[in-house]
Structure 1
Amino acid sequence: MNRKVIITCALTGAGDTTGRSEHVPVTPQQIAESGIAAAKAGATVVHVHVRDPETGQGSRETAFYVEAVDRIRESGVDVIINTTAGMGGDLYLDPHDPTTFVEGTDLVSGVERLKHVEKVMPDICTLDCGSLNFGEGSLVYVSTPDMLREGAKRIQDLGVRCEMEIFDTGHLWFANTLVEEGLIDAPPLYQLCMDIPYGAPADSSLLASMVAQLPEGAHWASFALGRMQFPWVAQSVLLGGHVRVGLEDNLYLSKGVKATNAQLADRAKTIVEAMGSSVATPDEAREMLNLRPRS
């Protein structure tokens, strides 16, 4: 069992959740304030997406990332910043004419998905390690081996720690290939993303099997969606991993009770400590993950 556990709080995501909870942050200021509160409540890392303040929809706009990240850094609260690099892979197809891309499609290269990372230079950024039928309908998330190798090399050159996002077992196979090819610096960092339709289901035996395939010395975390978020905190700690909570993945503290990011981070901290582990401080996590020193 892991004795020093990193808690990541995923603050907002890009899903259509803003109309389902008033606590989902939208503007860069709201995202920053929610992240600061989560850090004060126990989060070691905050995972940052941004949204268009006018529409509430997920955005790749670099200026929004600059504002949100600058506000967190200028707050004086010590927290590790992890930004997504997953936006720009959405392919919506006409099911009757799959040669036609329809409204909502947003496809850019692997390197183009890193423009905001180059600007804000977070401690960590994500790399979604494969394509996926994303939920119902006709959305495919596109992340090809060529895109991934190019993106991984750019992240490595920037000196940012790459968190490889794993949505299914084939993604794990490819992530391990990136490690073997030297495109991921040691120690490799994996996020095992469970319960996203139609990737890996939230099954404890599957999680254990995936963990068994990680290379020696790797750090990993895992999360599951909705009501499985808190059970997955315990499950991940038992298997020796780190944890992720946050409004990107779950809107509720308990049945019918809508949560804030700070409340979710605090509940995760309670679970971690009740299991006999402790929450890693940002400095402890920096040492574990071999992150760049704070500037």
Structure 2
Amino acid sequence: MNYEVIVTCAVTGAGDTTSKHPAIPVTPKQIAEAAIEAARAGATVAHCHVRDPRTGRGSRDPALYREVVDRIRSSDVDVIINLTAGMGGDLEIGAGEAPMQFGAGTDLVGGLTRLAHVEELLPEICTLDCGTLNFGNGDTIYVSTPAQLRAGAKRIQELGVKPELEIFDTGHLWFAKQMQKEGLLDDAPLFQLCMGIPWGAPADVGTLKSMVDNMPAGAQWAGFGIGRMQMPMVAQAMLLGGHVRVGLEDNLYLDRGVLASNGMLVQRAVEIIERLGGRALTPAEGRKKLNLPARGERLLDRRKIEQFA
């Protein structure tokens, strides 16, 4: 049981949700405001993707990330910034007997190119998706090969950013532990157990517990479920000793038929945590828990490096 819980809010994602919810954050201003809203509701961490403001589709544009991060950092609200580094792994295999005719949904770049915005902005945390996955029921695969992962983990380590190791299935956990053995991950790694994404690990207690039981010593971990399993997984992750994640990236509804905001989802998660006898950690407390620098220290370090470059 974990009584001191880090609450992450994944505020927008990159999925096709803008047609399903009228208030999905799309522009950098909206995404930053969503992160600030989540922090005011009790979130410790804001996990941010960016979207093309014209189309609403997921983007890798560092300029969009820069605006989001600048807006959050210049606000009067503290929150740990966690940027995705997963964009650029989509491969849409050609249909039928023409698999090499890749589809329009393909956006496939190398592991280091996926880190361009992380290199520039030095967030406190960035994600590292720890394996390849059949994604959905069509021909799309999310690609993250062992070689790409080793290169990405090494670069993240050099930057001094903490990787959040995204675990979509049991083999991903196995490989993440292998990277730790190889010295590509620092001590007390941070794992995010992503439950219920077709076709990875199902969002059930047995699967979640089996992965928790295989965590390396000293690891910090969080777990989440998508859709209607979001709040049940808040309780299950806390009961099994972990931290939690909610947000519009993973679930659009507060209750059946009731569309949510990020703030509403954070408030519901905090209520569950408190009813189980725990509390949500502040960003300052979360930094101590995750061995992160105090607020603003990384930005000061970057300015010193640039001054003497």
Q: How does 1:28-177 map to 2 (within 5 A)?
A: 28-95=28-95, 96-177=97-178
Deviation of 1:293 after TM superposition, in Å, equals 2.5
- Which AA in structure 1 matches 2:225? A
Which deviations, in whole Å up to 9, do the C-alpha atoms of 1:123-152 show, x marking residues without a partner? 000000000000011001100000000000
After the TM superposition, which of the residue ranges 143-152 and 279-288 deviates more from structure 2?
279-288
SS in 2 for 1:209: helix
Q: Which runs of 4+ in 1 moved over 6 A?
A: none
Which deviations, in whole Å up to 9, do the C-alpha atoms of 1:175-227 show, x marking residues without a partner? 11111111111210000000000000011011001000001110000001111
**Contact map agreement 2:284 2:294 (CA 8 A) in 1:** no
- Which AA in structure 2 matches 1:65? Y
**Partners of 2:89 and 2:244 in 1: how far apart?**
25
**1:211 counterpart residue number:** 212
**Partners of 1:102 and 1:44 in 2: how far apart?**
38
SS in 2 for 1:215: coil
- Which AA in structure 1 matches 2:295? R
TM-score by length of 2: 0.94
Aligned residues: 295
SS in 2 for 1:137: coil
**2:279 counterpart residue number:** 278
- Which AA in structure 1 matches 2:65? Y
**1:11 counterpart residue number:** 11
Which deviations, in whole Å up to 9, do the C-alpha atoms of 1:215-253 show, x marking residues without a partner? 111000000111100000000000000000000000000
Unaligned segments of structure 2, at least 5 residues: 297-309
Which deviations, in whole Å up to 9, do the C-alpha atoms of 1:82-140 show, x marking residues without a partner? 00000000001113211221211111000000001111111000000000000011001
Q: Percent identity?
A: 63
SS in 2 for 1:77: coil
**Contact map agreement 1:23 1:259 (CA 8 A) in 2:** no
Deviation of 1:292 after TM superposition, in Å, equals 2.2
**Partners of 1:22 and 1:101 in 2: how far apart?**
31
**Contact map agreement 1:220 1:241 (CA 8 A) in 2:** yes
Unaligned segments of structure 1, at least 5 residues: none
**Partners of 1:292 and 1:163 in 2: how far apart?**
16
- Which AA in structure 1 matches 2:192? Q
**Contact map agreement 2:125 2:163 (CA 8 A) in 1:** yes
**Partners of 2:258 and 2:211 in 1: how far apart?**
32
Deviation of 1:283 after TM superposition, in Å, equals 1.2
Deviation of 1:281 after TM superposition, in Å, equals 1.1
**2:243 counterpart residue number:** 242
**Contact map agreement 2:224 2:234 (CA 8 A) in 1:** yes
**Partners of 1:149 and 1:35 in 2: how far apart?**
30
**Partners of 1:235 and 1:151 in 2: how far apart?**
31
Deviation of 1:294 after TM superposition, in Å, equals 2.1
- Which AA in structure 2 matches 1:94? G
**Partners of 1:187 and 1:216 in 2: how far apart?**
8
Which deviations, in whole Å up to 9, do the C-alpha atoms of 1:263-289 show, x marking residues without a partner? 001110000011001111111111111
After the TM superposition, which of the residue ranges 95-104 and 227-236 deviates more from structure 2?
95-104
**2:200 counterpart residue number:** 199
- Which AA in structure 2 matches 1:267? R
**Partners of 1:187 and 1:76 in 2: how far apart?**
30
**Partners of 2:282 and 2:187 in 1: how far apart?**
20
- Which AA in structure 1 matches 2:290? L
**Partners of 1:265 and 1:180 in 2: how far apart?**
35
Which deviations, in whole Å up to 9, do the C-alpha atoms of 1:43-72 show, x marking residues without a partner? 000000000000000000000000011101
